[in-house]
Structure 1
Amino acid sequence: MVDNSSPSSSTVSRTVLLFLRVLTFVFLLIALILIAANKYTNDETGDKVKFSDFYAYRYMISTIVIGFAYNLLQMALSIFIVVSGNRVFNGDSGYLFNFFGDKIISYFLISGSAAGFGVTVEMFRGVPSNSFSDKANASASLLLIGFLFTAIASTYTAFALPKKANN
């Protein structure tokens, strides 16, 4: 007798992958809001500083936007697969797209996070932290967490490749 009450491992994997993509989406959205709204005015001199004054922060926001766009596409594809049970791409092309896309985007996200952390540490070395540096670090931290979820999703998509190559 076959027990049909428990979901198949591929259904669980698809659901976990969708959950990872939703988490990535949330963390990238918050990171984007934090860095884009990050401004600081020095009370003593009146100088105004914003994220766009620094190339590293501009690079960081670019990686967030690229990761965000890719993640939106993947979320839409994942929702379609979970709801319909059908794949959008036929053959191995969908698995390869997921695998290589997740790898490339995860590398973008980690490089953006590293750039944000690096410039913040260098700019505020020996200076007491302020709201600008705290928000920049928070955004870089959220971007790092987004990278972790994308890297985990990449591992799931890597496991799907050999299964499909053997079938």
Structure 2
Amino acid sequence: MASDKTQGWSGDSFDRYKEYRYCVAVTVIGFVYSGFQACDLSYHLISGKYIFFHPLRYHFDFAMDQILAYLLISASSSAATRVDDWVSNWGKDEFTQMASGSIAMSFLAFAAFSLSSLISGYNLCNRTTT
């Protein structure tokens, strides 16, 4: 979505609309968090230890998965509303097609975070204290 810029008469760009900026910002935050989680879990699979371990780790993982899932669905919905408004007023063009594709990927990221939230909730409820 960040590369979604057209050279047409309107000169549209994602950064002209706060809904798109919100969607990109939340997606970047989710991507960075997921990257850290992937590195930590990869390290755990290799060495049997976590990079960061704290007694509240399970609570943190569950809370972050929940927060990012809700932020992603909120951001995706607001961006989808902007695209729908654009299409109903001026019709489809390359800009709206690219934005729609980006929003679809954002909804997929929401689905991944909601699944991750279910898994981290299960881990939270079934953890063993050591």
Provide the TM-score with structure 1 as the length reference. Answer: 0.71
Is the contact between residue 102 and residue 151 of structure 1 (CA under 8 Å) also seen in structure 2?
A: yes
Aligned to 1:84: 47
> Quick one: which amino acid aligns to residue 132 of structure 1?
F
Gaps of at least 5 residues in structure 2 are none
- How many Å apart are 1:92 and its aligned residue? 3.4
Aligned to 1:149: 112
Aligned to 1:122: 85
Q: Does 1:135 align with 2:115?
A: no
> Quick one: which amino acid aligns to residue 15 of structure 2?
S
Gaps of at least 5 residues in structure 1 are 1-34
* CA distance in structure 2 between the aligned counterparts of 1:147 and 1:55, rounded to whole angstroms: 20
Asked which structure has the greater CA Rg, the reply is: 1
**Residues 64-103 of structure 1: per-residue CA shift (max 9 Å, x gap):** 1111111111111111112222234445311111111111
Aligned length: 130
* CA distance in structure 1 between the aligned counterparts of 2:3 and 2:52, rounded to whole angstroms: 38
> Quick one: which amino acid aligns to residue 4 of structure 2?
N
* CA distance in structure 2 between the aligned counterparts of 1:41 and 1:166, rounded to whole angstroms: 58
Provide the TM-score with structure 2 as the length reference. Answer: 0.90
Q: Does 1:40 align with 2:6?
A: yes
> Quick one: which amino acid aligns to residue 111 of structure 2?
L
Q: Percent identity?
A: 24
